[in-house]
Amino acid sequence: MKNFLSGAMRAPRHLATCAVAALAITGSATGLAAQDREAVTIGYAISKSGPNAGGADMTVTPNYELWIEEVNAAGGLKMPDGTRLPIEAIAYDDRSSTEDVVRAIERLATQDKVDLILPPWGTGFNLAIAPLMAKFGYPHLAGAAVTDKASDFVERWESSFWFMGGSHDYVSAFTEILVAEREAGRINDKISMVSVADGFGIDLVKAARPSFEEAGFDIVYDKTFPPETSDFATIVSEASNSEADTFVAFTYPPHSFGLTKQAKVASFNPEIFYLGVGAGFPVYPNIAGGSVEGVMSLGGIDPNNELNSAYRAKHEEIIGRAPDYWGSVLIYASLQMLEQAIERVGLDKEAITAEISTGTFATVLGEETRLENNQLRAINWVGQWQDGAFVAVSPEGSEGLAAVQLPKPNWD
């Protein structure tokens, strides 16, 4: 019955599609055959206004602009036959509204008929467009989206790729450090934890509770606050009375900054001070008045990785400011993978999807970056400010990861 219905619906649509296609070809140049094309059109919809604009403008948009500028400066995207085609970018504002981002993707796919679509910022927005990207067959390189369900999503939407990991990954890497520190006798087994009542904060705190408790920690203070909160005096004083050596805050930039300032004012200096998004922004040391040594958060970089250092220098040169220490490099790496996939297989969307899924690429993350089950797993999960840089850390340190340095020194 269902098949019959959809078949019946499709039949008139085919005719209509033909008519529309004919119109489109006469009306625009995008319908030209591949050998005649003069450029590659790449579209994206991003939050330029509204509550998401800040995050998008930190992590996503600058990397799109940087990459497009770099590619075009080199003459364009390299095709398998060695020729180069410049990128023509089409950028829309989704006004931080999911209805608008969905419509913008429809517009890019069916109206502008772009060759490729780059994803928007945020977990919710990437999920909102995922069904459309799969339907139109575009590879969906979901960069700024933290989700534990990536393994389900790659089955649901076969052309989707997830580059930022999930809450469990971040939390379990951090728990490992906590356990090592406790065994070394540097911290007690109490944790005070706060989170922002938003998708990000709740997702992480939900993963953190069982993870900390299974590792034998006692969560003595556990509070969720609304995103509009700007006064953190109560939270900091309650956390400092809780006798926990570890303070964890799953927060967004305004809260991370506010908590830092309040902690300094109240001389709240726990052995471990871990914050959410914002603590890995280049602007964070200025906000904290310089004394950020020992502060921990998600992400981090390897300061000895020359590829990454070159990327950061280039970002500063072209965009005029440094990238953040977490998501930016992942977004940029996803674009490099896209670029190299095109060089190998051309502009066929299906072939690009297959290549990204199985190929090995040289990116800012390393000479041999590849995806596992369509997800990037070579992510730095925990970072710490050490000597003015936000470096990726692990309990003992290993290749590419520094040893974590605890307890955190005093603020001053």
Partner 1 sequence: MKTSIAFALAFTALALLAVAPLILPEYWTGVLLGMTGYVTLATAWALFSGPTRYVSLATVAFFGVGAYTVAVLNEVLPYPLVLLCAAGIGMIMALVVGLSTLRLAGVYFVIFTFGLAELVRQTVSWWEVNVTYTMGRYVFLPFEGHHIYWQLLALAAITFLIAWAIGRSRIGLALKALGDDETVAAHAGIDVTRIKLFLFVVSSTIITLVGAIQAPRWTYIEPSIVFNPTVSFMTLIMALLGGAMRLWGPLVGAVPLFLLFEWLSGRFPDHFSIILGALFILIVFVMPNGVLAKIDDLRKGRQS
Residues that bind partner 1 in the complex, under the rule CB under 8 A: 9, 12-13, 16-17, 19-20, 24, 48-51, 91-93, 95-100, 102-104, 106-107, 109-111, 123-124, 127-128, 130-131, 135, 156, 197-199, 201-203, 206, 224, 226-227
Compute CA distances 320 → 144, 299, 313, whole Å. 21, 22, 10
203/302 with CB nearer partner 1: 203
- Judged on CB neighbours under 10 Å (0-12, 13-18, 19+), 372 is exposed
Minimum CB distance to partner 1, residue 82 (Å): 35
- As measured in angstroms, the least distance from the Cβ of 104 to partner 1 is 8
Instruction: Show Cβ contacts of residue 261 under 8 Å, excluding neighbours closer than 6 positions.
Output: 287, 288
Q: Which of 61/384 has CB closer to partner 1?
A: 61
Instruction: Tell me how far, at minimum, the Cβ of 73 lies from partner 1, in Å.
Output: 25
> Please, which residue, 205 or 392, has the CB nearer to partner 1?
205
Q: Which residues contact 260 (CB under 8 A, 6 or more apart)?
A: 275, 279, 284, 287, 288, 295
Q: How far is the CB of 234 from partner 1 (least distance, A)?
A: 17
Structure tokens at 338: 């896209």
Bond prior to 285 in cis (omega within 30° of 0):
no
In this structure, are residues 320 and 313 in contact, taking their beta carbons and an 8 Å threshold?
no
Residue among 24 and 362 whose Cβ is closer to partner 1: 24
Name the 3-class secondary structure at 222: strand
Tell me how far, at minimum, the Cβ of 24 lies from partner 1, in Å: 8
Q: What tokens does 297 get?
A: 């958060």
Rounded to whole angstroms, the Cα distance separating 133 from 116 reads 10
List Cα–Cα distances, 223 to 87, 137, 166, 204, 246, in angstroms: 48, 43, 22, 13, 14
Distance CA 82, CA 315 (A): 27
Rounded Cα distance between 275 and 251, Å, is 7
* Closest approach of partner 1 to the CB of residue 162, in Å: 14
Burial of 246 per CB tally in 10 Å (0-12, 13-18, 19+):
buried
Q: In this complex, which beta carbon is closest to partner 1, that of residue 142 or of residue 392?
A: 142
Q: Which is nearer to partner 1, 235 or 364 (CB)?
A: 235
Nearer to partner 1, 203 or 355 (CB): 203
Q: Which is nearer to partner 1, 278 or 400 (CB)?
A: 278
The secondary structure of residue 372, as a DSSP letter, is B
**Smallest distance from the beta carbon of 412 to partner 1, in angstroms?**
35
- Nearer to partner 1 among residue 17 and residue 304 (C-beta): 17
Taking the complex as a whole, the smallest distance from the CB of residue 100 to partner 1 amounts, in Å, to 7
244 three-class SS: coil
Beta carbon nearer to partner 1, 13 or 321: 13
For CA atoms 345, 134, 45, 150, give the dihedral sign: negative
The minimum distance between CB 55 and partner 1, in angstroms, equals: 12
Q: Which two tokens stand for residue 3?
A: 């098949």
- Structure-token pair, residue 381: 């999960």
Name the minimum Å distance from CB 16 to partner 1: 5
State how far the Cα of 64 lies from the Cα of 159, in Å rounded to an integer: 20
